[in-house]
Amino acid sequence: MESKSSTTGNRDNPNRNLHGSKTMMASHFLRALFRIQQTSTSSSSAGRSRRIRRAAYASMAYSAGTRRAWSRALLRKLRSRARLRFPRRLSRAATPQRRDMDQAQVLRKLVPGGPSMDDCKLLEETADYIRFLTTQVRLMQTVMDSISS
Amino acid sequence: MSSRRSRISEEEIAELLSKLQSLLPEARRRGTSRASSAKLLKETCNYIKSLHREVDDLSDRLSEMMATMDMDSAQAEIIRSLFRP
C-alpha cells in the first residue's frame, strides 16, 4: 500500500535507505571518535563519554539527513548545543498507563520532534528512529569489540 | 489512488503498528501477538528507552577504553570489522 504522507521515498524497502546511511554513520562516528581521543584530556572520562554519546546521536542525525522529522529535530538540538536528554524517569513504579493516549504521549517524549507529530506521523517516525538507533548501537558495539580484541 | 488528503484511518494506524511490531526484538514481541495497540506502544517505548540506555552505556565503555588504548593502531581493525559482510 503506497503511503502518500511521506515526501521522500521509503516506499518499498526502508532498509534500502538505511544501507547508504550506515556508511555515513560509520565514517561520521569514527571521525568524531578519533577527534575526541586526540582532543580530550586524560582527566575526565565522564566528559569524554558525554562527547561520545553526542557524537553517536550526531552521526545518526547526519546520516538520516533532513528528510525525517526526528533527524531534523535532533540536528536542531545538536546545533543549539542544548543538552541531549531523553526522559528516563517514567519507570514501572510510576502511575500505571491506562489508555493508548498515555503511551502515545510517552512515545512523543522519546522520539525527537515527537510533540509536534500526529499519531500517524509519530508511528512512521518512530519506526525510522528505531532503525537508526539500532544501527548506531550495533556500530558502537562493533567498534568496541574491535578495540578490545 | 484517490487524491484525498492523508487522513488517519484505522487501517493506516493498524499497518503502521504492525510495522512497528516487526521492529521489536523477539523477546519483546511475545505477548503482543494480539497486537493490542496500548501494549505495543508500551513495548515500543520500553524498547526505545533501552536503546537510549545502551547508547549511554556504550559511550561510557568506549570512553574508558579510549583512555588506555591507542586508537590509531586499532584504526585498521575497526574499519575492517565495520565492512565485514
Among positive and negative, which fits the CA dihedral A93, A95, A101, A104? negative
Collect all residues of chain A within an 8 Å Cβ-Cβ radius of residue B62. 33, 49, 52, 140, 143-144, 147
Compute CA distances B67 → A21, A43, B70, whole Å: 29, 9, 8
Do A39 and A31 contact (CB within 8 A), yes or no?
no
Domain ranges in chain A are 18-83+98-148
* Single-letter amino acid, residue B19: K
Query: Average of pLDDT values for B11-17?
Result: 86
Interatomic CA distance for residues A52 and A108, integer angstroms: 25
Contacts of B61 in chain A (CB under 8 A): 144
Alpha-carbon distances of B13 from A27, A68, A97, B7, B49, rounded to whole Å: 36, 19, 20, 10, 22
* A105-132 confidence digits (pLDDT tens): 999 999 999 999 999 999 999 999 999 9
Instruction: Determine which of A13, A15, A37 to mutate to test the interface with B (most B C-beta atoms within 10 Å).
Output: A37
Integer Cα distance of A66 and B77 in angstroms:
32
B81/chain A closest Cα distance in angstroms: 7
Given this model, what pLDDT does residue A3 score?
Answer: 42
- Which chain A residue shows the shortest CA-CA distance from B69? A147
Of B37, B48, B60, the CB nearest to A49: B60
- The alpha carbon of residue B18 is apart from the nearest alpha carbon of chain A, in Å, by 10
Identify from A2, A44, A100 which residue to disrupt to test chain B contact, counting B C-beta atoms within 10 A and taking the largest count.
A100
C-alpha grid cell, residue B75 = 584504526
Q: Structural domain boundaries of chain B?
A: 10-82
Residue A92 has pLDDT above 90, yes or no: no
Judging by beta carbons within 10 Å of its beta carbon (0-12, 13-18, 19+), is residue A51 exposed, middle or buried?
Answer: buried
What does the pLDDT average to over B45-55?
96
Of A129, A148, A52, residue with least CA distance to B44:
A129
Q: How confident is the model at residue A13 (pLDDT cuts 50, 70, 90)?
A: low
Phi then psi for B7, rounded to 5 degrees?
-120, 140
Q: What global pTM score does this model have?
A: 0.81
Cell of A86: 531523553
Q: How far is B33 from chain A (nearest CA, A)?
A: 17
Angstrom distance (rounded) from CA B83 to CA A30: 13
